[in-house]
Amino acid sequence: MGRKLDPTTYVKRGPGRKSRKQKGAETELTKFITEGDSDRFTDENSEWLKPAKRKREADHIDDDDDDDSDSQWEQEEDEEGEGQKKKGKRQLIENDDDDDDDDDDLVDDYGASEDSGEGEKEGESDEEVRQKKLQEVMDQETDDDDEEEEEEEDKDGEKSGDEDMDEEDTVQVNIDEMDTFKLPKAEDIAKEGVMLVDLQTIHQRIKDNVDVLSHFSTKREGGKDRAEYLSLLKKDLSTYYSYNNFLIDKLLEIFPVSELIDFLEANEIQRPVTIRTNTLKTRRRDLAQALINRGVNLDPLGKWSKVGLVIFDSSVPIGATPEYLAGHYMLQGASSFLPVMALSPQEGETILDMSSAPGGKATYIAQLMRNTGVVVANDASADRLKSVVGNIHRLGVTNSVVCNYDGRQFPKVMGGFDRVLLDAPCSGTGVISKDPAVKTSKDESDIQRSAHLQKELILAAIDSVNAESPSGGYLVYCTCSIMVEENEWVVDYALKKRNVKLVPTGLDFGKEGFTRFKERRFHPSLKLSRRFYPHSHNMDGFFVAKLKKFSNTVPTTTVDNGIVTTILVEETEPSGDVKVQSDSFDEEKPFKAGSKNKSKKQKPDGKPVVSQATANGKSAKSIAKKTQKNENPTVPKKAKMDNETEKVDKEINKSNIVKTDKETSKEGSRFQKKGDKQRKSHIQSKKRIGKNKFNKLKKLLKNEFGNEHL
């Protein structure tokens, strides 16, 4: 309209420039218009021209605005007539926010102030208004009330949202259940048209909902159970962060609610760019210097890595500097350092990387080995292998072989590797920040398919490891996913199916893996695996587990043998128990890796299947006791079968017992040999209760035989 009549008065800022001015004008006018005239105008049109009624919160239910049917201000009229509750209420309430309450009575809306401002918002608010009209047509008053109250909450900001909202619902409308369930409907329709404003509302509602859920007992509203809040939260999260429902459900199962919000927020932003120095060609400090000279802002990655650098910003493209082209560094995510660090390849070993594209981990392995030994970099996709070859040559790796097999075929092609790294193809739920398509494209069948493939791959990987390797026998399984089905479940499956056990990864940070999840129970050693999350470690979501293979034999059937062995066990139970205690001592002692080899050699072939099977069959539970028990009866049997002297028998018994202890004990106790041999004598003396019986029998037999001879 015009400029302010009184420049000294300050009109509180609200949305819209012109509306502010207009309101400013009108605020001035109010001073000149007396209160008595508020209900009607004073000109000759007063009969049919009625001023807009103030839509106060308290009034709107009763204030049907039916009075305005003759109003010239058709917009208002329409809105009021149809949108009794809703329509402009939102804007009006927002106007209330602007503290123009007093003005609203006298203010002619022009249909503009309802928009909460002219200009940009006008169009939207019109739409909003129309949407509201739609809503009203579809919904009942109660819904309107709910939304209003929501907005009240939003305004207030301090209330625990859902709770108060629900409370007011119950006060005004006595259909609590209906209110919350109807809400989604209303909002769905609203959200189709309206974007920005509702997103903020949703965000606020999410926060409030999480707040209530975190302090449920104190902040909950009586009569509403947790499921209702959760279902609303799920819907809001899917909408706000653009996830499909399946993924939100899965994530809610993994994370507590407050952490889930952090996780989702972290997935919206990129992780920092990190590079790995190629120590075959340069040192980190030289590289850092050279890059700084080019104008790159960087920092060391952290104290857990000696070769990592994180790039903050750069004036040159990091992927195209002469240092990059000369192979001084490689662009690699921080989480990709971890499995190779866990694998810790030694010089001169033979290593297999089953899923190596684009080659970051394979080249890291080669650099750790200083180009000695052999790295076999395999990938099932021929296209992606080109990048592997390129990176290998660029970084100056000379000890590599690149091949294009399906990982599941690998044991047939070549086996006997010292270490194997399996970075299994997965659903990618840990790298959502790199690939937002994962949010909407994954569903149950994808996860199941991935998990199936991963199980096959991990078994093939285990079969490719040589358990008797002098310096290795390790497999590292990792994925860039946070789903339990692809991580702990696969590792647990491997533990059941093969002679492997979990060992510490050597990574001292990161969350421990789950040992139980929903209805599943995993092996307790799963807590040695590590999980990494974007929101807590600022790297891509990742899972790393390190397994050690302790026997090359593949268990065929476990059930039958298990039954058989349990029968045998009975006689020697006490000794078995004693053995368990000894194990716990022995694990602390240094252990030569070669001892396992020796023990295996000594073991005659007749019994390995049984013992191994038993070992495997029990692998899912506390094996040590049972397998030891199994071994005891077999040992004296062997001694008899082999027709060896008593002394030799005892030695073999000792070694066999030692062997089984090592094989079956789960907790990374490589350092058992000396301890076992040292300790066993004491323990065996107790065990010889059982053995001595056999020995006595033998002696008896020999004496008889001798007597016969005589």
Partner 1 sequence: MRPLTDDETRTMFEKLSKYIGENIKLLVDRPDGTYCFRLHNDRVYYISERILKLATNISRDKLVSVGTCFGKFTKTLKFRLHITALDFLAPYAKFKVWVKPGQEQSFLYGNHVLKSGLGRITENTNQYQGVVVYSMSDVPLGFGVAAKSTQECRRVDPMSIVVFHQADIGEFIRSEDTLT
DSSP code of residue 409: G
| Contact in structure between 473 and 548 (CB atoms under 8 Å) | yes
Compare residues 275 and 658 and give the one whose CB is closer to partner 1: 275
Least CB distance to partner 1 at residue 398 (A): 5
Least CB distance to partner 1 at residue 328 (A): 8
C-alpha to C-alpha distance for 631 and 620, rounded to whole angstroms: 18
* CA atoms within 13 Å, Cβ hemisphere of 279: 13
List alpha helices for 269-409, DSSP H: 284-294, 322-325, 337-343, 360-368, 382-394
Least CB distance to partner 1 at residue 474 (A): 19
Q: Which residues contact partner 1 (rule: CB under 8 A)? A: 290, 319-320, 322-323, 325-327, 350, 372, 374, 376, 382, 385-390, 392-394, 396, 398-405, 413-414
Least CB distance to partner 1 at residue 360 (A): 15
H or E segment and range at residue 647:
helix 646-664
Q: How far is residue 129 from each of residues 14, 111, 496, measured CA to CA in Å?
A: 19, 10, 62
Active site annotation includes 426 = no
Compare residues 464 and 672 and give the one whose CB is closer to partner 1: 464
| Contact in structure between 582 and 679 (CB atoms under 8 Å) | yes
Q: How far is residue 511 from each of residues 73, 520, 529, 544, measured CA to CA in Å?
A: 63, 19, 8, 10
Q: Which value, to the nearest 10 degrees, does the dihedral of the CA atoms of residues 449, 454, 456, 460 take?
A: 160
SS (H, E, C) 585-597: HHCCCCCCCHHHH
Both tokens assigned to 242 = 């653009």
Among 450, 459, 458, CA closest to 484: 450
Distance of alpha carbon 658 from the chain centroid: 40
Least CB distance to partner 1 at residue 291 (A): 13
Burial class (CB in 10 A: 0-12, 13-18, 19+), 48: exposed
C-alpha to C-alpha distance for 676 and 698, rounded to whole angstroms: 26
Q: How far is residue 464 from each of residues 64, 162, 415, 461, 500, measured CA to CA in Å?
A: 79, 56, 4, 5, 12
SS (H, E, C) 523-573: CHHHHHCEEECHHHHCCCCEEEEEEEECCCCCCCCCHHHHHHHHHHHHHHH
| Contact in structure between 205 and 162 (CB atoms under 8 Å) | yes
Compare residues 394 and 501 and give the one whose CB is closer to partner 1: 394
C-alpha to C-alpha distance for 462 and 305, rounded to whole angstroms: 28
C-alpha to C-alpha distance for 439 and 227, rounded to whole angstroms: 23
Q: Which of 403, 426, 478, 480 is catalytic?
A: 480
Least CB distance to partner 1 at residue 643 (A): 42
DSSP code of residue 88: T
Least CB distance to partner 1 at residue 674 (A): 34
Q: List the binding residues.
A: 355-361, 379, 406, 423
C-alpha to C-alpha distance for 626 and 622, rounded to whole angstroms: 8
Q: How far is residue 360 from each of residues 333, 506, 543, measured CA to CA in Å?
A: 9, 20, 17
| Contact in structure between 623 and 571 (CB atoms under 8 Å) | no
Compare residues 34 and 293 and give the one whose CB is closer to partner 1: 293
Compare residues 374 and 620 and give the one whose CB is closer to partner 1: 374
Q: List the binding residues for S-adenosyl-L-methionine.
A: 355-361, 379, 406, 423
Compare residues 166 and 353 and give the one whose CB is closer to partner 1: 353
Q: Can the peptide bond before residue 51 be classed as cis, meaning omega within 30 degrees of 0?
A: no
Least CB distance to partner 1 at residue 372 (A): 8
- What is the DSSP annotation of 483-522? -TTTTHHHHHHHHHHSSEEEE--S--SSEEPPSEETTEE-
Compare residues 376 and 500 and give the one whose CB is closer to partner 1: 376
3-state secondary structure of 283: coil
Least CB distance to partner 1 at residue 632 (A): 41
Compare residues 227 and 382 and give the one whose CB is closer to partner 1: 382
Compare residues 264 and 385 and give the one whose CB is closer to partner 1: 385
Compare residues 415 and 436 and give the one whose CB is closer to partner 1: 415
Name every residue whose Cβ is closer than 8 Å to that of residue 401 and which is 6 or more positions away in sequence: 374, 375, 376, 377
| Contact in structure between 437 and 462 (CB atoms under 8 Å) | no
Both tokens assigned to 385 = 């292998």
Least CB distance to partner 1 at residue 450 (A): 24
Compare residues 394 and 442 and give the one whose CB is closer to partner 1: 394
Least CB distance to partner 1 at residue 407 (A): 12
C-alpha to C-alpha distance for 576 and 570, rounded to whole angstroms: 10
C-alpha to C-alpha distance for 233 and 130, rounded to whole angstroms: 27
Residues annotated catalytic, as ranges? 480
